[in-house]
Amino acid sequence: MLITIMRISAEMAKAINDQISYEASSANAYIAIGSWCERIGYDGSAAFFFEQAAEENRHMLKLIHYLNGVGAESIIPAVEKPPSSFESLESTFQFGLTSEQKVTKAIYDLVDMAEKEKDRFTYSFLQWFITEQTEEETLFHTILQKFDLLGRDKLAVYQIDQTLTSVRSQVMSKQTSQK
């Protein structure tokens, strides 16, 4: 019989499982926002949020693979029902930014814990998430800035919605060129 030895602490495994749960909640919330956008006719934003949900799923899987790889048990969480309607298009991006800021804080807490435990595996693994969170917060800030620049009347919101197909690649290529 193969005996698996866990190479991180039980506390760290629990904290990473909590992170899996945050990523799953984010994925669900972004699907709910995408669905609301699709119903209203904000096609660019719908595509943006569905892609964002897919990103969160990839983050969740990355954490699951990590836990399984270090001999810990990953737990697939039940998730809360997200909101199904939103005040405005701008409020959906505000929701996204707040949610990303919470995830960033949770990642920082994990990094602090890894440092404290001298858990080099986890510390190194988490560096990818720090870079990813910087990109995600920048992405939401960039979109929210457009409401200040272009305005909030129907035509401005329509124009903002239409730019969303390209905004992700613009932000990502800017971030990559800064590395």
Dist CA 146 CA 1 (whole Å): 59
User: Cβ closer to ligand FEO: 138 or 165?
Assistant: 138
Q: Do the beta carbons of residue 73 and residue 22 sit within 8 Å?
A: no
d(CA 148, CA 5): 53
Half-sphere exposure of 68 (CA within 13 A, CB side): 10
According to the binding rule CB under 6 A, does residue 106 interact with ligand FEO?
no
56 is a site residue for ligand FEO (CB under 6 A): yes
If one asks whether residue 53 binds ligand FEO (CB under 6 A), the answer comes out as: no
Q: Give the C-alpha distances (Å, rounded to integers) separating 78 from 13, 17, 23, 75.
A: 18, 12, 12, 10
Q: Is 25 a binder of ligand FEO (CB under 6 A)?
A: no
How far is residue 59 from each of residues 19, 27, 79, 92, measured CA to CA in Å? Answer: 10, 9, 16, 21
Q: According to CB under 6 A, which one of 70, 126, 136, 143 is a site residue for ligand FEO? A: 136
CA distance 11 to 87: 39
* Nearest residue (CB) to ligand FEO, 157 versus 171: 171
Q: Does 59 bind ligand FEO (CB under 6 A)?
A: yes
Of 56 and 161, which has the nearer Cβ to ligand FEO?
56
In the complex, what is the shortest distance from the CB of residue 153 to ligand FEO, in angstroms, rounded to a whole number? Answer: 30
Which of 98, 79, 84 is closest to 140 using CA atoms?
98
Q: Is 100 in the site for ligand FEO (CB under 6 A)?
A: yes
Smaller CB separation from ligand FEO, 59 or 146: 59
Candidates 13, 103, 160, 171; binder of ligand FEO (CB under 6 A) is 103
Q: Which of 21, 25, 26, 74 binds ligand FEO (CB under 6 A)?
A: 26
Report DSSP state, residue 3.
P
Can you give the binding site for ligand FEO, defined by CB under 6 A?
23, 26, 56, 59, 100, 103, 136
